[in-house]
Structure 1
Amino acid sequence: MLIDFSLQNYSSFNSKQELSMLASTSTKENYNLNNTKQINAYGINSLLKSASIFGANASGKSNFAAALNTLKSLVLESLDSINDKTVKKVVPFLLKENLFDKPTEFEITFLAMDNMYRYGISIEQGVISEEWLYWTKTSRETQLFHREGQKVVFNQRSFSEAKSFVHKEGDSWNIEKTKPFVPFVSVLSQFNGKKSVVVTDWFQKLNVISGLDDYGFKEFTIDLFEENSEFKEWSLEILKSLQIEDIIVDETEENLPLLKKGSLDDSDLDDALSKLHSFIEKNKIKKKLIKIVKVNPETGKFYSFPLSLESEGTKKLIYLLGPLYDVIKNEEILIVDEFDNKFHTLLCKFIIDLYHKSNQGASQLIVTCHDTNLLTKELFRRDQIWFVEKTPLNESEIYSLVEYKEHYTRKEGSYSKDYLSGKYGAIPLFGSIDDLGEILNG
Structure 2
Amino acid sequence: MLIRYSVENFLSFNERQIFSLIPGRGTLKAQHKSSPVNGLTVLKSAVIYGANASGKSNLIKAIEFGKNLILKGTKAEQPISFESFKLDKNAANADSRFEYEIQHKNKNYAYGFVFNSTEIKEEWLFEITKTSETKIFERETVKGFDLSYFKKLNKKEENQFIEFTAKSTPRNQLFLTQIRNSNITEHVSNIEDLLNIIDWFQNALTVIYPSSKNKENSFKLFENTDLQNLFTEMLDYFDTGINGIDLKEISFDKIDVPEDLKEDIKAELLSKKSEKTSAFLSNPQDDKYYIILKKQPDKLAAKILKTKHEITGGGHELFDLRDESDGTRRIMDLIPLMIDLFKGNNVFIVDELERSLHPNLVYDLMDFFLDKCEGINSQFIVASHESILFTQKLLRKDEIWFIVKDKKGGSHLHSLEDYNIRFDKELRRDYLLGRYKGVPKLGNRNNLTILP
| Aligned: 1:307 with 2:317 | no
Aligned-partner Cα distance in 1 for 2:447–2:172: 51
Name 1:269's counterpart in structure 2.
none
8 A Cα contact 2:222 2:303, kept in partner: no
Q: Does the Cα contact within 8 Å between 2:206 and 2:217 map onto a contact in 1?
A: no
Structure-1 separation of matches of 2:449 and 2:357: 28
**Structure 1 position 427 matched with structure 2 position 439:** yes
Partner of 1:280: none
Report the structure number with the largest CA radius of gyration.
1
Contact 1:209 1:216 in 2 (8 A): no
Alignment partner, residue 208 of structure 1: 207
Aligned letter for 2:392? K
User: Distance between the aligned counterparts of 1:162 and 1:200, measured in 2?
Assistant: 20
Of residues 131, 135, 140 in structure 2, which corresponds to 1:148? 140
Paired position in structure 2 for 1:343 = 357
Change (3 A) 1:430 1:408: farther
Q: Identify if the C-alpha distance between structure 1 residues 47 and 138 changes in structure 2 by more than 3 Å, giving closer, same or farther.
A: closer
Task: Assess, with a 3 A threshold, how the Cα gap between structure 1 residues 438 and 295 changes in structure 2: closer, same or farther.
Answer: farther
Of 374, 386, 399, 2:414 maps to 399
Shift in alpha-carbon separation, 1:111–1:252, aligned structure 2, 3 A: closer
Any idea what SS the aligned residue of 1:186 has? Answer: helix
Distance 1:290 1:401 in 2: 42
2:30: which partner in 1? 33
Instruction: Spell out, residue by residue over 1:201-258, the C-alpha distance to the aligned partner (whole angstroms, 9 max, x if none).
Output: 11112111102x24112x978x7443333332222222213232211123579798xx
Give the partner amino acid of 2:431. Answer: Y
Q: Gaps spanning 5+ residues in structure 1: where? A: 168-173, 257-285
Q: For residue 133 of structure 1, give the secondary structure of its aligned residue in structure 2.
A: strand
Matched-pair contact (CA < 8 Å) for 2:86–2:92:
no
Match of 2:283 in 1: none
Tell me by how many angstroms 1:155 deviates: 2.7
In the alignment, residue 210 of structure 1 is paired with which amino acid? Y
1:340: Cα distance to partner?
Answer: 1.0
Using the alignment, how far apart are the partners of 2:54 and 2:159 within structure 1?
41
CA distance in 2, matches of 1:440, 1:324: 48
Shift of 1:23: 1.5
Amino acid of the structure 1 residue aligned with 2:33: T
Look up the match of 2:63: 68
Matches of 2:423 and 2:129 in 1, distance apart?
Answer: 37
> Taking structure 1 as reference, are residues 3 and 303 closer, same or farther at Cα in structure 2, changes over 3 Å only?
same
Q: Secondary structure at the match of 1:335?
A: strand
Give the Å deviation of 1:397: 0.6
Cα 1:417–1:384 shift into 2, 3 Å: same
Match for 1:389: what amino acid?
A: V
Distance 1:226 1:438, change over 3 A: farther
1: CA distance between counterparts of 2:353 and 2:33? 21
Structure 2 match to 1:248: 246
Quote the residue 2:11 is aligned against: 11
Query: Partner letter of residue 336 of structure 1?
Result: V
SS at structure 2 position matched to 1:366: strand
Paired amino acid for 1:196: L
Deviation digits for residues 75-124 of structure 1, max 9, x if unmatched?
11116x33435x22x32101111234532000011112221111010003
Aligned match of 1:133 in 108, 121, 125?
A: 125
SS in 2 for 1:145: strand
Deviates more, 1:64-73 or 1:183-192: 183-192
After superposition, give the CA deviation of every residue in 1:241-285 in whole Å (9 maximum; x if it has no partner).
3232211123579798xxxxxxxxxxxxxxxxxxxxxxxxxxxxx
Question: Residue 99 of structure 1: SS of its match in structure 2?
Answer: helix
Q: How does 1:76-87 map to 2 (within 5 A)?
A: 76-78=71-73, 81-84=75-78, 87=80
Matches within 5 A, 1:124-273: 124-136=116-128, 140-149=132-141, 151-156=144-149, 157=151, 163-166=160-163, 175-189=166-180, 190=182, 191-192=184-185, 193-204=191-202, 205-211=204-210, 213-217=211-215, 224-241=220-237, 242=239, 243-250=241-248
User: Which range moves more in the overlay, 240-249 or 307-316?
Assistant: 240-249
Structure 2 gaps, min length 5: 186-190, 257-300
1:409–1:415 Cα contact (<8 Å) kept = no
Matches within 5 A, 1:118-129: 118-129=110-121
How far does residue 125 in structure 1 lie from its aligned partner after superposition?
A: 3.6
1:362 & 1:398 partners in 2: Cα distance?
25
Q: 1:287 to 1:146 in 2, by over 3 A?
A: closer
1:287 & 1:334 partners in 2: Cα distance? 25
Superposition deviation, residue 153 in structure 1: 2.0
**Are 1:144 and 1:158, in contact at CA under 8 Å, matched by a contact in 2?**
no
Deviations 1:102-153 (A, max 9, x none): 3200001111222111101000342111111111378521112211116122
Q: SS at 2:46's partner residue? A: strand
Residue deviations 1:308-360 (CA, integer Å, cap 9, x gap): 22210111101221233234325211111111111110010111122223434
Aligned to 1:294: 309
Q: Secondary structure at the match of 1:47?
A: coil
**Structure 1 length-normalised TM:** 0.80
Tell me, yes or no, if structure 1 residue 416 matches structure 2 residue 428.
yes
Change (3 A) 1:312 1:441: same
Distance 1:175 1:220 in 2: 32
The alignment partner of 2:35 has SS state of strand
| CA RMSD after TM alignment | 2.8
Q: Does the 8 A contact of 1:162 with 1:188 survive in 2?
A: no
Aligned twin of 1:116: 108
Match of 2:265 in 1: none
The one-letter code of the counterpart of 1:185 is: L
User: What is the Cα deviation at residue 61 of structure 1?
Assistant: 0.5
The C-alpha deviation readout for 1:171-220, integer Å capped at 9, x for no partner, is: xxx94111011111232343133321111011112111102x24112x97
Structure 1, residues 409-442: CA drift from partner, whole Å, max 9, x if none? 454xx322111111111112427xxx45654759
State the identity %: 28
Q: Tell whether the 8 Å contact from 1:100 to 1:124 is kept in structure 2 after alignment.
A: no
- SS state of the match for residue 48, structure 1? coil
Q: Is the 8 A contact 2:398 2:416 kept in 1?
A: yes
Residue type matched to 1:33 in 2? A
Write out the 4+ residue segments of structure 1 that deviate beyond 6 Å after TM superposition.
252-256
Letter of the aligned partner of 2:368 in structure 1?
L
